[in-house]
Amino acid sequence: MQFEVKALRGTEGLIVLLMEAVDAMDAEAQVRAQGYTVIASRSKQSWSQMLHWGKSSFPLVLFSQELVALLGAGLSLIEVLETLAEKETQPEVKKTLDYLIALLYEGHNLSYALEQRPKDFPALYVATVRSSEKTGSLVEVLSRYIVYQAQMEGIKGKVITSSIYPVLLAVVGVLVVLFLMVFVVPNFSHIYEEMGGEMPFLSRVLMQWGQFLDTHLKMFLAGVATLAVLLFLAVTQPASQRWMKQKLWQLPGVGKRLNLYQMARFYRSLGMLLQGGMPIMVALKLVSGLLDESLREQLKLASVSIHEGGSISQAMGKYGMVTPLASRLLRVGERTGQMGEMMERIASFYEEETVRWVERFVKLFEPLLMIFVGLIVGVIVVLMYFPIFELAGSIK
């Protein structure tokens, strides 16, 4: 990330330096190392950075894959990180790797070093690494995390792929309607104004709209652009996102599927941590952040029940955290001692059900959307040409 740092040095006066750094403190440290006195600093964000605000640019999955490959080849952890830092060309990623190396040389373990970079390494990843430090199976645990990420990205990809065509269809429909209303209808309104005569009520309303746009076109386009910008800014705000999420959860069919998707992530993450050797109570606390607030409260009650000695299957069933099939799988896991594996099977079942529902919904929604867009365009066209049909009929 780029930072603008205002600084002083000798008789040079106040100057502004542009620095590549991980954060503001790092940028200021670089400027001080050059002999300057720092006055102030601020981040210089590009449009791409603003669109991805709050998201890390650190390639976590690629980093894990390279870590597994090099550790498997017999290199020590320090040697692996130094090798990755030497070949890295992105300044932000290199700074993160150098920071990890410095902490490891100070005697800290890897999980502590990762924990100091919460933007680059999520709590679930740190917990996964910490569990491996107790068992000495870092390669195995990281391999499991890579598989976990691939499975989660897979289901996201299927949902996004299924949604592309309906979204494109809706966008094209809106653009066609706007083209008709902004450019075609005003031209027809001039023609009918010159012809005179009576028109049907709806046709007259449409022509009046065309005349209004012809007179105030720039104002209308400016209003549409302003509204689009305001909507974009509102959607990117955390409060607006929370409000939209609450409304989605209240929809009868959609809310149930969102719940199922969150439960799939929950059980996939929980199963991975348990297979890595992490205690159930610690794992439950770590994965609670993956759930919505309402489900988080239910999980808290279930955690209390488990802490008091209740079984996992009973606690999850009592507070609505499982389906009947999932409850049966949890009981099997308790009997066999393979709770982590059973939780991953539950997650796979939930993911498959979510994907099937999305595919069915899209197959039903696509023709309905096409009919809706076709009706709107058809009504506009008929209302534009209806006076011509009446005029032709009167001439005959």
Distance CA 210, CA 31 (A): 60
> Which uninterrupted H or E stretch holds 215?
helix 201-215
> Do 317 and 327 contact (CB within 8 A), yes or no?
yes
pLDDT at 50: 44
3-state secondary structure of 20: strand
pLDDT at 54: 46
Q: Long-range CB contacts (< 8 A, 24+ apart) of 217-222?
A: 217/182, 217/186, 220/182, 221/182
> Do 120 and 35 contact (CB within 8 A), yes or no?
no
Select 165-396's CATH number: 1.10.40.30, 1.10.1060.10, 3.40.50.720, 1.20.81.30: 1.20.81.30
Close Cβ partners of 95 (under 8 Å, ≥ 6 residues apart) = 21, 22, 26
Q: What is the DSSP string of 259-278?
A: HHHHHHHHHHHHHHHHHTT-
pLDDT at 390: 63
Residue spans of the chain under pLDDT 50: 46-54
Per-residue pLDDT tens over the stretch 184-203: 777 777 776 666 556 677 77
Q: pTM value?
A: 0.62
3-state secondary structure of 4: strand
Nearest to 19 by CA among 40, 9, 311: 40
Fold matches, 2-51 and 60-150 = no
Distance CA 138, CA 131 (A): 9
| Residue 361, CA distances (Å) to 157, 159, 244, 257, 396 in order | 16, 11, 20, 11, 50
Query: How do strand 37-44 and strand 15-20 relate by DSSP bridges?
Result: unpaired
Per-residue pLDDT tens over the stretch 302-358: 899 988 888 888 888 888 888 888 888 899 988 888 888 898 888 888 888 888 888
Domain 2-51 in CATH 3.40.50: no
Q: Which fold has domain 60-150?
A: Receptor-associated Protein (1.20.81)
What type of residue is 308? E
Distance CA 297, CA 395 (A): 74
Distance CA 307, CA 226 (A): 54
What type of residue is 97? L
Nearest to 295 by CA among 309, 270, 316: 316
Domain ranges of the chain: 2-51, 60-150, 165-396
> Which uninterrupted H or E stretch holds 52?
none
pLDDT at 233: 80
Burial grade of 56 (CB within 10 A; 0-12, 13-18, 19 or more): middle
